[in-house]
Structure 1
Amino acid sequence: MGSFSIALSGLQADTTSLNTIGNNLANLNTTAYKEQGTTFEDLFYQQIGTSGSNNPLQVGVGTRVSGTSTDFTQGTLLPTGQPSDMALSGNGFFVVNQNGVQQITRSGDFQLSQAGDLITTSGASVMGYPASNGVVNVNASLVPIQLPVGVTQAAQATQNISITANLNAAASVGTSFTTPVTIYDSLGKSHALSVTYTKTGSNQWDYSVAVPAGDATGVPSNNTGTLTFDSTGTLVSPTGSINNITFPTLTDGASDLSFNWNLASGGSPTLTQTTAPSTTGFSGQDGYASGNYSGFTVDQNGVVTAKFDNNHTQVVGQVAVATVTNTQGLVRVGHNSFETTAASGDAVVGVAGTGGRGTVEDSTLEQSNVDISTEFANLIVAQRSFEANSKTITTFDSVTQATLGMIR
């Protein structure tokens, strides 16, 4: 009898709805899980005649599931304190590669493999743009993000020093003032460089750059000279930089120390002469000792920066973020991941904070957007609908039994 098939279609549709609700509740604590909903539609109708006013008389034959929609509303972002955890604040998905297949995910509970690969909990590689010499190439093909775990960063000899200082114009001739700067040689050993200024006349100071006695046995070059200021206290000579200050034959066996002293920043001299006391505002250089990998950070644009215990950092890549035209067309493949389809359109990959993509929040995870109170309300409705369809079947059964009884 058609009556049974009508009720059966209702039971099947309600079963799908109950399964969907149950899956939502089961994933209440799943990272970045997106709640699903079930929608129904009626089936075709049988026309059994017309009324006296020629209106059609139709009888329906049941219902079916017309679709399952996904709510991509962002879940709550909670800090975790784990640098490998990431969340997207706004639109977009992280790009991962599972066994050669590109997938996208909102779940940023990433991990570091023993080899330093940034991976998902299911082992998929987190994809991004590569960096060379600390510069990210966003025009290159995506590659797995890899951190230099267990790597010792080689030392870098100082190539440039910078000093921001004021020399006291009211000081008497012969007065000296010294700025210390710690620099590094090619082996990573530090040297306590000193820059001494000695007033020799009105608006003139001699400078002398030196390293401690015993650090270098060769004769230094370009390490002495004269600084000349105008009547406003602006450095007029030398300008730009003092190049190739050299200390040869270092006693530790490193290469000769040779560096430039930058005397300007943004076009303005960094040394001035006023009647204020002689002071050093800043001294810095670009060398560093060797260091071991100690961790990493991710900024809002997804740039991944490795940290070393020598207080030096190095950009190693940038996490890719993808968007799709129709998120409802995505297909779930498990492990908190999606794949694109013809309905969703291809993933448009770029970097966070551009093209409508959200920003990356480091040490943070996105929570499930399932609302437990809403799900319980939906569960009650689905249960009542299932019971009603069950009651329809028992009623049809009673009618069938009565009909058979008439035959007897």
Structure 2
Amino acid sequence: MPDFSIALTGLQADTVALNTIGNNLANLNTTAYKGQTTSFEDLFYQQIGTSGASDPEQVGVGTRVSGTETNYTQGSLSTTSNSTDMALSGTGFFVVEQGGQQSLTRAGNFQLDSSGDLQTIDGESVMGFPTVAGTVSQTSNLAPITLPVGQTEPAQATQNVSISANLNSAAAVGNTFSTAVTVYDSLGQSHVATVTYTKASSTTWNYAVTLPSADASGAPVNNTGTLTFDSTGALVSPSSNVTGITFPGMADGASSMNFSMNLYNSAGAATVSQSASANNVAASSQDGYASGTYESFAVDSTGIVSATFSNGHTTTVGQVAVATVSNQSGLLRTGDNNFQTTAASGTASVGTAGTGGRATIEDDTVEGSNVDISAEFSNLVVAQRSFEANSKTVTTFDTVTQDAISMIR
């Protein structure tokens, strides 16, 4: 007698395949969705005898689903006008957390809540490395990325002034050259500091740092000095930055201004030189600013999140974490665009974007679904034909069974 279970296993397997294809098509527009395919394998066999050549005579008993495989290839990246959107370009996942439960996701269509927490659409916190004293600490535990929404950044008095300049070696003794730099006091009030260079000899220039007389009533301290250059035009004295330039008695009631004039950069190279070309200033900078309110944020390719304030100052608030696993196929899909690690996937290796084979981050961008609609329609036709064929097998088995029963009536 025919074994109806053979055809039924085919119907069951085809149903799973159809469900998988249907789910892929339903998620064509799901952010960063990863398509799946269903694979099959044959079941065990009954040996009903041997042939004359002693070859085994076997009859199979059907099929079953051997697995559903996820395609983790990257979906297309599309730029958006939403500053909270992010996309991963490469291998890896964002780390999100809710109620103490961490998950992995590729969907970077994030949003900000009223408290400034960067969250998924479902309210999960986007996790990253926090800042300690303004610097990202990659040795600290992961923490939610929080933006200073609605906050006002206090003013910071200027502490360092840097000027990159060339002084003309061909200038006559007594020749002067001035440049202005805007600096800030402890109340955030701006002042124009003027640095005047006066040629003293073939290898020396005197300098003086001044503020407008109405800005400070006290006598300035350590605001003058001499720059000495060697025969190649390299600065040899002072051999370090000038510290302790002080202007007491600020007219607006701010604390005395006290800042350094940096003659050397962080690598120890002098920023002031002397050569036979016109006096000029290539660049100038200072680290003070007025108070300002939060305006926006940006994320760079390594995940550094920088908040911008109305005073033009930016500050680092954290770094978005990126995780990888040794076996992506072992991840457990939990819905809401999330994945959970399992023993098969291995634990998540959490680090920074662009390191250790991890993806880089694209700001103002989202990743689309990687489902290929034409391939899915093709698979749908194949699965449909297979289901119909197994259905026909059932009806054929039924007809044969009825014929067999009729034989004994």
Tell whether the structures are fold-level matches, with TM greater than 0.5: yes
For residues 74-96 of structure 1, the C-alpha deviation after alignment (integer angstroms, 9 at most, x for no partner) is 11222224222111111111111
Structure 2: 5+ residue stretches without partners: none
Question: SS at 1:246's partner residue?
Answer: strand
Question: SS at 2:407's partner residue?
Answer: helix
Q: Residue 87 of structure 2 corresponds to which residue in structure 1?
A: 87
Residue 318 of structure 1 aligns to which amino acid in structure 2? Q
Shift of 1:178: 1.2
Question: SS at 2:167's partner residue?
Answer: strand
Q: Alpha carbons of 1:214 and 1:106: their partners in 2 closer, same or farther (altered >3 Å)?
A: same
Give the TM-score normalised by structure 1. Answer: 0.95
Question: SS at 2:130's partner residue?
Answer: strand
**Contact 2:2 2:401 (8 Å CA) reproduced:** no
User: Aligned ranges for residues 345-360 of structure 1 at < 5 Å?
Assistant: 345-360=346-361
Q: Alpha carbons of 1:244 and 1:405: their partners in 2 closer, same or farther (altered >3 Å)?
A: same
Q: Residue 278 of structure 1 corresponds to which residue in structure 2?
A: 279
Q: Residue 259 of structure 2 corresponds to which residue in structure 1?
A: 259
Does residue 379 (structure 1) correspond to residue 396 (structure 2)? The answer is no
How far, CA to CA, are the matches of 1:293 and 1:143 in structure 2? 21
Residue 170 of structure 1 aligns to which amino acid in structure 2? A
Residue 384 of structure 2 aligns to which amino acid in structure 1? Q
Shift of 1:328: 1.2
Q: Residue 243 of structure 1 corresponds to which residue in structure 2?
A: 243
How far, CA to CA, are the matches of 2:340 and 2:228 in structure 1? 67
Q: Alpha carbons of 1:322 and 1:246: their partners in 2 closer, same or farther (altered >3 Å)?
A: same
Does residue 326 (structure 1) correspond to residue 315 (structure 2)? The answer is no
Q: Residue 287 of structure 1 corresponds to which residue in structure 2?
A: 288
Shift of 1:172: 3.5
Q: Residue 336 of structure 2 corresponds to which residue in structure 1?
A: 335
Q: Alpha carbons of 1:228 and 1:42: their partners in 2 closer, same or farther (altered >3 Å)?
A: closer
Shift of 1:355: 1.6
**Contact 1:85 1:363 (8 Å CA) reproduced:** yes
Q: Residue 3 of structure 1 corresponds to which residue in structure 2?
A: 3
**Contact 1:164 1:281 (8 Å CA) reproduced:** yes
Moved more, 209-218 or 169-178: 169-178
Residue 23 of structure 2 aligns to which amino acid in structure 1? N
User: Aligned ranges for residues 16-55 of structure 1 at < 5 Å?
Assistant: 16-55=16-55
Question: SS at 2:162's partner residue?
Answer: strand
How far, CA to CA, are the matches of 1:206 and 1:109 in structure 2? 57
Question: SS at 1:268's partner residue?
Answer: coil
Q: Residue 152 of structure 2 corresponds to which residue in structure 1?
A: 152
Q: Residue 229 of structure 1 corresponds to which residue in structure 2?
A: 229
Give the TM-score normalised by structure 2. Answer: 0.95
Q: Residue 405 of structure 2 corresponds to which residue in structure 1?
A: 404
Q: Alpha carbons of 1:361 and 1:57: their partners in 2 closer, same or farther (altered >3 Å)?
A: same
Shift of 1:368: 1.1
Q: Alpha carbons of 1:28 and 1:173: their partners in 2 closer, same or farther (altered >3 Å)?
A: same
For residues 199-238 of structure 1, the C-alpha deviation after alignment (integer angstroms, 9 at most, x for no partner) is 3444343322111121111121111233333444333333
How far, CA to CA, are the matches of 2:288 and 2:398 in structure 1? 88
How far, CA to CA, are the matches of 2:130 and 2:373 in structure 1? 41
Shift of 1:2: 5.5
Question: SS at 1:208's partner residue?
Answer: strand
Moved more, 294-303 or 262-271: 262-271
**Contact 2:95 2:105 (8 Å CA) reproduced:** yes
**Contact 1:2 1:61 (8 Å CA) reproduced:** no
How far, CA to CA, are the matches of 1:396 and 1:231 in structure 2? 104
How far, CA to CA, are the matches of 2:286 and 2:75 in structure 1? 44
**Contact 2:2 2:397 (8 Å CA) reproduced:** no
Residue 311 of structure 2 aligns to which amino acid in structure 1? N
For residues 90-110 of structure 1, the C-alpha deviation after alignment (integer angstroms, 9 at most, x for no partner) is 111111113221111111111
Q: Residue 190 of structure 2 corresponds to which residue in structure 1?
A: 190
How far, CA to CA, are the matches of 2:66 and 2:85 in structure 1? 37
Shift of 1:47: 2.6
The alignment covers a number of residue pairs equal to 408
**Contact 1:233 1:272 (8 Å CA) reproduced:** yes
The sequence identity of aligned pairs, in percent, is 64
How far, CA to CA, are the matches of 1:241 and 1:92 in structure 2? 44
**Contact 1:164 1:283 (8 Å CA) reproduced:** yes
Q: Alpha carbons of 1:393 and 1:181: their partners in 2 closer, same or farther (altered >3 Å)?
A: same
Question: SS at 2:11's partner residue?
Answer: helix
**Contact 1:161 1:260 (8 Å CA) reproduced:** yes
How far, CA to CA, are the matches of 2:268 and 2:347 in structure 1? 48
How far, CA to CA, are the matches of 1:398 and 1:287 in structure 2? 90
Q: Alpha carbons of 1:234 and 1:331: their partners in 2 closer, same or farther (altered >3 Å)?
A: closer
How far, CA to CA, are the matches of 2:39 and 2:195 in structure 1? 77
User: Aligned ranges for residues 70-109 of structure 1 at < 5 Å?
Assistant: 70-109=70-109
How far, CA to CA, are the matches of 1:178 and 1:87 in structure 2? 48
Structure 1: 5+ residue stretches without partners: none
Residue 315 of structure 1 aligns to which amino acid in structure 2? T
Residue 188 of structure 1 aligns to which amino acid in structure 2? G
Q: Residue 367 of structure 2 corresponds to which residue in structure 1?
A: 366
How far, CA to CA, are the matches of 2:331 and 2:2 in structure 1? 36
Residue 342 of structure 1 aligns to which amino acid in structure 2? A
Does residue 115 (structure 1) correspond to residue 105 (structure 2)? The answer is no
How far, CA to CA, are the matches of 1:102 and 1:11 in structure 2? 38
